[in-house]
Structure 1
Amino acid sequence: MLRFRIARCIFNFQKQKLMPSDQYKRIEQLLEKYRDKSISYEEYLELFEYIGNKEYKKAIFEIMDQRYRTLNPDADVHDIDWDNMYRQIAHENGHGKNSFWRPLRYLAAAVTLIIISYSIHKFYIRNSVKGTENQVAVTDVAPGSDKATLTLSDGSRLELNENKKGELAEQGVTRINQVSGAITYVPENTDVTAQDVMFNTLTTPRGGKYHVVLSDGSKVWLNAESSLTFPAHFSGPQRKVILTGEGYFEVAKNKEMPFIVEVGDAQVKVLGTHFNIMAYQDEKVLKTTLLEGSINFSRNNQNRVIAPGQQVQYTVDKQGFTIYKADMEAAMAWKNGLFVFNDTRIDDIMKSIQRWYNVDVVYNNDKPDISYTGVIPRSANLSKVLTVLESAGNVKFEIKGNMVTCSKK
């Protein structure tokens, strides 16, 4: 049974340049591997590129017609209703849930098109409604990129982007260097007292992300609309930073100097580990997910040690917190260049879209009461993301400038 771990996936696949007859055979081979569940992730991406290219559409349909059009209602989850590959993505009538990606938990992202895989016991659809593909009007918006603002201890601000490189500034005994999409704090002297500590703040806007290597070697990736406040050089009995929004941490080990992340009224204490914190204030549920090592999570005088594969969830307006088994793919999706939805409501999806594409979303009348399960690359332009959502559900979108209007069909 196939399962892919997104954190290890590679998206810069380049398909082989083949002669037309070889291309036909290659497509046929990839479809057979998909059917037999022996396809690798790289082969998935290759298949997706072929299907996303209209040049190969006729050949693909010929192969489908020859080999794959008949489905068994009792077939395994990986069997496909090929008729729906290029047409409107069917939805489960009457349940308000839409799936454009479902082999057990997750499948993979297409470069320009999502391939549909249906769980046959829920989505056995032989002759779905025919029609033209939905088109999102009118303009388009590019995805986010590496950009941020660094505020130094004296209040001065440096605008960062993916193109700048070299030495940016000095903060006391620490030199700040910039490489593509990241800044690095390099201490030149470890003899620093608490009185000498200078605090900096790295802030990503909507449509931005950035990466910082702190003076102790710890690494932090910030998602869009997030901030991290930290000392230019750690001093004293602990390493303490303050997070808003979302960040992924790879903390350098130091048993003598625990690393503490303060996020609102909660605190995460570690010695050295990898974890993700999602703490946007407009989200209903705030989450801390542990990938490896261990953390001590505390809030309102409650403390718990969290194990790898666990996730802490809590809401701002309620006391305490709850520990669940983590959905690791979903928690790490943003860092790995993906939107991952697992029965996710449309309004929660649109919050992520607002942050990454720097747009505002408005709803005509009531918000559509639908949920999605699927994956879309964050590298796609906004119109492609909305086209997938529009095809899969009873919604339609219109883009005007930086405004997206969402309506029921």
Structure 2
Amino acid sequence: MTQEEHIKQLLDRYINDLSTAEEKQELMDAIDSRPHVDWYAMLASSFSEQGADKNFTPERWQPVLDSILGYRQEEAQKKPAIIRYIKSWWAVAAMLMILLGAGLWLFRGKNTIKPDPMKALADISPGSNRAVLTLQNGQHIPLDSMHGNIVLQGNLHVKNDSGALNYSGQATAAAYHTLSVPRSGQYRLQLADGTRVWLNAASSIIFPTSFQGDKRTVSITGEAYFEVAKNPSKPFIVQVGQMDITVLGTHFNINAYSDEPDTRTTLLEGAVRVTAGNHMTVLSPGQQVRLDKNNALTVANDVDVEDVIAWKNGYTVFENADIETIMRQVSRWYNVEVVFEGNMPKRHFAGTISRKSSLPDLLKILEFENVNFSIEGKKIIVKP
């Protein structure tokens, strides 16, 4: 019997609740010891023969992952954890998609899971479509409770629907509006010129109701992704802190949170000119310019742009990220306070998780990487 056939046999016994403790441990150790194996490709053929549904999504395999993690939590109390990097768990997740696609729910709830101190966080939901529009006269319009045409000024129409704010028509006189997205929120915006903007949690944009003159200028805080409508005669300028990004028509992402060590502009398509003080650089697709707190510009090449904009597509991606970076994103998306106790070891993690995942699920994954937490209300205390 080949190793592949043996693993399939172990997996089949596990999902049918026939495994001995030794077989369960052998299966988990096989997965842990081979983090770069494409488990999906390796196992999909055997399950497809059983008529497995191939429409695998994180939402569908998440409950199965919970069950596996529950078993691993018990085992972790018996001996030191084997896993050292989050990336190995995404190989496990790929395998779990197969299980759920085949409708194999047999083992859910069969393992006895000890009381979980993170249940205090169970009522904290992931972020959702939430934002407030502030008009020039100071009026605040909560967009999660008002829908349809919310502003009618002459030929200007502002429609709010399904997490998106749409400006159309021409205002008789340009006024400035502000779209503010709170922590644990996200929102989309289409400007009057057709430019589309996605705002991440704890972000904002100030923009005119119509672009007049020879430039189109907006300013942002936080993180935003732009798909700029082309207009060669009227450049589009994004102002963010001490930096200006000038484009004619392009796709790019700006991460400018004040609690991050630098401001990052990543180009996906077209070209942008980035100016900060006396420094200027022009980006090509796949490049990222970074402005640090000392106003020094550096350019990184061959950036994985899909990882950069994963937040826009419903995922959070960590690539060589330390625990402080990860927890800053957790704090913004779940609207919780994060406190670090003591000096954090210099470790880096990699992985992908759906932004729809619950906060306890995400923290459980980190716990299996020997990251320790204590919970006080909505405060997460991270310990070495």
TM tier, smaller: 0.7 to 0.9
Measured after TM superposition, the shift of residue 320 of structure 1 is: 2.9
1:99 equivalenced with 2:81 (yes/no) = no
Any conservation in 2 of the 1:171–1:232 contact (CA below 8 Å)? no
Change (3 A) 1:264 1:132: same
Query: Given the alignment, which residue of 124, 128, 132 partners 1:149?
Result: 132
* DSSP 3-state at the match of 1:178: strand
* DSSP 3-state at the match of 1:329: helix
Q: Tell me the alpha carbon deviations over residues 235-260 of structure 1, each in whole angstroms, 9 at most, x when there is no partner.
A: 11011000110000011111111111
Give unmatched runs, 5+ long, in structure 2: 1-11, 17-37, 100-111
Separation of aligned partners in 2, 1:48 and 1:184:
29
Measured after TM superposition, the shift of residue 164 of structure 1 is: 3.5
Change (3 A) 1:297 1:55: closer
Give unmatched runs, 5+ long, in structure 1: 1-19, 25-30, 58-82, 114-130
Measured after TM superposition, the shift of residue 148 of structure 1 is: 0.8
Separation of aligned partners in 2, 1:207 and 1:328:
23
Q: Tell me the alpha carbon deviations over residues 99-131 of structure 1, each in whole angstroms, 9 at most, x when there is no partner.
A: 33567xx986978x9xxxxxxxxxxxxxxxxx9
Q: Tell me the alpha carbon deviations over residues 189-227 of structure 1, each in whole angstroms, 9 at most, x when there is no partner.
A: 6xx5xxx32000101111111111100111101000001
Separation of aligned partners in 2, 1:229 and 1:108:
41
Per the alignment, residue 45 of structure 1 pairs with 56
Separation of aligned partners in 2, 1:153 and 1:285:
31
Per the alignment, residue 166 of structure 1 pairs with 148
Per the alignment, residue 139 of structure 1 pairs with 120
Measured after TM superposition, the shift of residue 400 of structure 1 is: 3.3
For residue 347 of structure 2, what is the amino acid of its counterpart? I
Taking structure 2 as the reference length, what is the TM-score of the superposition? 0.74
* DSSP 3-state at the match of 2:312: coil
Query: Given the alignment, which residue of 224, 242, 251 partners 1:247?
Result: 224
Query: Given the alignment, which residue of 178, 182, 188 partners 1:211?
Result: 188
Any conservation in 2 of the 1:314–1:322 contact (CA below 8 Å)? no
Measured after TM superposition, the shift of residue 398 of structure 1 is: 3.1
For residue 139 of structure 2, what is the amino acid of its counterpart? S
Per the alignment, residue 35 of structure 1 pairs with 42
Per the alignment, residue 388 of structure 1 pairs with 365
Separation of aligned partners in 2, 1:180 and 1:100:
36
Any conservation in 2 of the 1:279–1:287 contact (CA below 8 Å)? yes
Query: Given the alignment, which residue of 377, 389, 400 partners 2:376?
Result: 400
Per the alignment, residue 357 of structure 1 pairs with 334
Measured after TM superposition, the shift of residue 132 of structure 1 is: 7.4
Per the alignment, residue 278 of structure 1 pairs with 255
Any conservation in 2 of the 1:102–1:373 contact (CA below 8 Å)? no
For residue 120 of structure 2, what is the amino acid of its counterpart? T
Change (3 A) 1:35 1:218: same
Separation of aligned partners in 1, 2:66 and 2:215:
59
Any conservation in 2 of the 1:329–1:340 contact (CA below 8 Å)? no
Change (3 A) 1:353 1:109: farther
Any conservation in 2 of the 1:289–1:309 contact (CA below 8 Å)? yes
Measured after TM superposition, the shift of residue 304 of structure 1 is: 2.0
Any conservation in 1 of the 2:65–2:93 contact (CA below 8 Å)? no
Any conservation in 2 of the 1:135–1:387 contact (CA below 8 Å)? no
Separation of aligned partners in 2, 1:179 and 1:349:
31
* DSSP 3-state at the match of 2:258: coil
For residue 303 of structure 1, what is the amino acid of its counterpart? M
Any conservation in 1 of the 2:318–2:351 contact (CA below 8 Å)? yes
* DSSP 3-state at the match of 1:312: strand
Separation of aligned partners in 1, 2:146 and 2:94:
33
Measured after TM superposition, the shift of residue 321 of structure 1 is: 3.0
Any conservation in 2 of the 1:228–1:242 contact (CA below 8 Å)? yes
Q: How does 1:287-366 map to 2 (within 5 A)?
A: 287-366=264-343
Any conservation in 1 of the 2:65–2:96 contact (CA below 8 Å)? no
1:232 equivalenced with 2:209 (yes/no) = yes
How many residues are aligned here? 324
Any conservation in 1 of the 2:198–2:226 contact (CA below 8 Å)? yes
Query: Given the alignment, which residue of 151, 173, 185 partners 2:167?
Result: 185
Taking structure 1 as the reference length, what is the TM-score of the superposition? 0.70
Separation of aligned partners in 2, 1:328 and 1:170:
38
CA-based RMSD of the aligned residues comes to: 3.5
Per the alignment, residue 374 of structure 1 pairs with 351
Measured after TM superposition, the shift of residue 323 of structure 1 is: 3.5
* Percent sequence identity over aligned pairs: 36
